[in-house]
A and B are shown apart, each in its own frame.
Chain A
Amino acid sequence: MVSGKGGTGKTTVAAALALALATEGRRTLLVEVEGRQGIAQLFGTEALPYEERKIAVAPGGGEVFALAIDAERALLDYLQMFYKLGSAGRALKKLGAIDFATTIAPGLRDVLLTGKACEAVRRTDKAGRYVYDHVVMDAPPTGRVTRFLNVNDEVAGLARIGPIHHQAQAVMKVLKSPQTAVHLVTLLEEMPVQETADGRAELAEAGLPLGRVIVNMVRPHHLDEAALQAAAGKQRAGVAQALSRAGLGGARRGGLAERLVDPLLEQAAEHAERVGLERAQRAVLDGLGVSTYELPLLGRGMDLAGLYELATELRKQVSAE
């Protein structure tokens, strides 16, 4: 399960994780539950239908399949499977009952979504081998993920008997087992780190297994504070001369190189401030006592090549342990 505050790149991280886990001939299923078609956009494919479909080949011959779960279709399938509803299913839909069950009824939608993922986790082929080595879900954001996963409390409390109740219990058994890990994606910024801390506490309280905190978009640190102060202070003229030596114009006052010094220093000061804030947030994360993986910020933006780069990076950090 991959969660994280909005804007931290949880879909990207989920996809990179699915790729990393598929390396060397394994097969993973990447699942999307929020109907945003984020996976399709990331992999540059057309919108995903409600069926498992191969979307990528991992290094070493592994395969990544993807599935966008549609709660309404999942419910109809489910009803068909267990009750052979036929036309009654259509009538229920017409009445708004399916709408009710999938968008309004508390928790039912979540049971269907997590239930579908759990079914994929447990599915075996004729030889009894698991069809997927790993199932990675791009889960709802941190603020909602505990409620989403904790379907037992949500639904079992409401539906104390009946198939939904059994389904919820079966799902919880998988979700609370060591087979499951909930990874939280964060940035080194105040709000995402705060949400990570809150999310960690909520998951612990619900008895759900926290995996890693994945620190995304980590920037390289080019200059330390001391260097920056020197550059802004007594080495200022030296910097102008160095710029000039590097072929960027005159170092004299008003020269092309000299006029670069102020804007460059200003950018460096912003960089230093950001580094300082990141350091503070890193300290907060350290204080949580969670293990982390780190993924770099890709300067050119996110594309398919970048996704493979992140997958390789994750792979490296996993095998370094």
Chain B
Amino acid sequence: MSGTVTAVLGTDAPARLEVDRLLDDPQTRIVVCCGSGGVGKTTTAAALGVRAAERGRRVVVLTIDPARRLAQSMGIDSLDNTPRRVAGVGGSGGASGGGELHAMMLDMKRTFDEIVEAHADAERSRAILENPFYQSLSAGFAGTQEYMAMEKLGQLRARDDWDLIIVDTPPSRSALDFLDAPKRLGSFLDGKFIRVLMAPAKVGGRAGMKFLNVGMSMMTGTLSKVMGGQLLKDVQTFVAAMDTMFGGFRTRADATYRLLQAPGTAFLVVAAPEPDALREAAYFVERLAAEDMPLAGLVLNRVHGSGAVQLSAERALAAAENLDEGGIVDQEPGKAGVRGSGTTPEDGSPAAVDEITAGLLRLHAERMQVIAREQQTRDRFTSLHPEVAVAEVAALPGDVHDLAGLRAIGDRLAAGGPAGV
């Protein structure tokens, strides 16, 4: 009995993610595309942007690290940290009026510099920008990119120039980094540790804190030993210069976090039908639920389909072997057994045609194996998270690097059904 139930659960298709409804809904203000590396996040974000703009919305796409040709196709191959209008999308070019697409590529150092410049006077900000520790920090330790992506998202949202912001997330070691890193950086910059670095003397002034002070000077002493006195000094100088901005960092990180939880934000978890990518996707789905962040659904990229699913891999292979054997019989005397050597596809001899046909059948068998494997991987995800709506995007044979390709992806996203159906 339970076996039957499992079987039913296993074959139950998940709800279809209605991409157009999500994009058309004026309440949708932010779409965040997240997922592990190499699953097509950037392409998905760009395709959603093109589609939304052509359906009449004023869209900005924030990309982190696009492929060169994809960036070129949107005219954002120059990295200048400012949204640029993408020519040929929406507006006069599109059927529906009013839509526009803007796109930008994140420059994390510049974004960090801008925060500093906005919050400190000229002299102080110069001191910060020239500090070696700041330079290293802003050029990219783990987390800066994530923090700056969220910072930029906050800025774009505050400008209110667009009615839809689509964000691509950084290629982190794990999809979850993108949620955690800003908080980590924010709490570091505001944390106790910074206070210790900054003001051991201040704390020591109070009699009751004497014991603590011994501990702290031992600690700064240790830190000095471990990091080298000069690095510690750079950090301390940096911290002193940033003093006015502290508090601000955590507040900003918290504000962005709340923005992500607000209605109007929709998360799309992007994955490919491979075990690693879907495992990451499952973690992310669970994490979003735990953080009360609104998940719109799963985009499953590069799903394979076939127009001949009625022909199983086994039958196709058996038929191909059948043709191989038949070919030997059909060979002219003297050529028997030597497959392929004397035949060309153009000569139309039965042996040549059999050979081509056997090739077609082997390709089909391979395709069916891929489909079965993908289906199995997907079913595993679906049985863990049956509540998650899914849009499947049929695999394209090549890379996408022009607007036509992005439109094609958009069409497939919106069709959303299993590939090949």
What is the interface of chain A, defined by CB distance below 8 A to chain B?
A: 5-8, 34-36, 38, 41, 79, 83, 85, 88, 91-92, 95-97, 99-101, 103-109, 140-141, 143, 147, 154, 157-165, 189-192, 194, 220, 222-223, 226-231, 234-235, 238-239, 241-243, 245-248, 260, 262-268, 270-271, 273-274, 277, 299-302
Contacts and interface: CB of A to CB of B under 8 A. Distances in A.
Interface stretch (B90-98, B120-128, B342-350): B342-350
Given A38-B276, A99-B188, A226-B344, A106 B360 contact: no
22 contacts: A96-B193, A97-B193, A100-B188, A103-B142, A104-B137, A104-B143, A109-B142, A160-B231, A162-B226, A190-B67, A229-B345, A230-B348, A231-B356, A239-B357, A246-B326, A263-B307, A265-B360, A270-B397, A271-B397, A277-B398, A299-B370, A299-B373
Given A100-B193, A158-B234, A231-B356, A266 B307 contact: yes
B42 to A, nearest CB: 9
B4 interface: no
Interface string B182-204: 00110110011100100000000
B193 A162 contact: no
Contacts of B143: 103-104
Contact of A273 (B196, B362, B398): B398
Nearest to B230: A160
A197 to B, nearest CB: 11
A222 B318 CA distance: 16
A281 B141 CA distance: 32
Interface in B113-166: 132-133, 136-137, 139-143
B171 interface: yes
A5 B38 contact: yes
Contact of B360 (A99, A158, A239, A273): A239
Contacts of A191: 67, 399
Nearest to B369: A299
Contacts of B226: 79, 83, 101, 162-164
B306 interface: yes
* Leading 7 A-B pairs by shortest Cβ distance: A7-B38, A6-B37, A162-B228, A263-B307, A159-B228, A246-B319, A242-B357
Interface stretch (B19-27, B217-225, B410-418): B217-225
Contacts of B222: 79, 83, 85, 88, 92
A271 B234 CA distance: 57
B357 A230 contact: no
A242 B402 CA distance: 40
A104 B185 contact: yes
B39 interface: yes
A108 B143 CA distance: 14
B323 A246 contact: yes
B21 to A, nearest CB: 29
Given A238-B348, A260-B311, A300 B369 contact: yes
B228 A164 contact: yes
B171 A143 contact: yes
B30 interface: no
Nearest to B366: A299
Contacts of B231: 158-160, 162, 164
A277 B399 CA distance: 9
B350 to A, nearest CB: 8
Given A6-B38, A223-B363, A246-B319, A140 B173 contact: yes
B230 A223 contact: no
B171 A141 contact: yes
Contacts of B360: 223, 231, 239, 264-265, 267-268
B367 interface: yes
Given A34-B173, A262-B307, A299-B373, 7 more contacts: A7-B36, A162-B229, A231-B357, A243-B357, A245-B354, A246-B320, A247-B319
B322 A271 contact: no
B53 interface: no
A85 B67 CA distance: 47
Nearest to A271: B363
A107 B136 CA distance: 9
B148 to A, nearest CB: 15
B247 interface: no
A191 B277 CA distance: 18
A95 B356 contact: no
A235 B356 contact: yes
Nearest to A162: B228
Given A5-B38, A248-B311, A95 B193 contact: yes
A43 to B, nearest CB: 14
Given A158-B133, A264-B361, A230 B227 contact: no
A262 B377 CA distance: 28
Contact of A95 (B140, B196, B311, B353): B196
Contacts of B225: 83, 162-163
A246 B274 CA distance: 34
Interface in B14-72: 36-39, 65, 67-69
A227 B140 CA distance: 51
A161 B173 contact: no
A161 B37 contact: no
A88 B137 CA distance: 26
B348 to A, nearest CB: 6
A83 to B, nearest CB: 6
Given A106-B136, A157-B132, A190-B67, A260 B308 contact: yes
A248 B315 contact: yes
Which of A95, A161, A273, A277 has the most C-beta atoms of chain B within 10 angstroms of its own C-beta?
A95
Contacts of B359: 222-223, 227, 268
A161 B230 contact: yes
A247 B221 CA distance: 83
Interface string B63-93: 0010111000000000000000000000000
A143 B137 contact: no
B357 A159 contact: no
Contact of A227 (B133, B187, B356, B367): B356
A108 B352 CA distance: 64
B210 to A, nearest CB: 16
A5 B65 CA distance: 12
A143 B353 CA distance: 47
Contacts of B188: 96, 99-100, 103-104
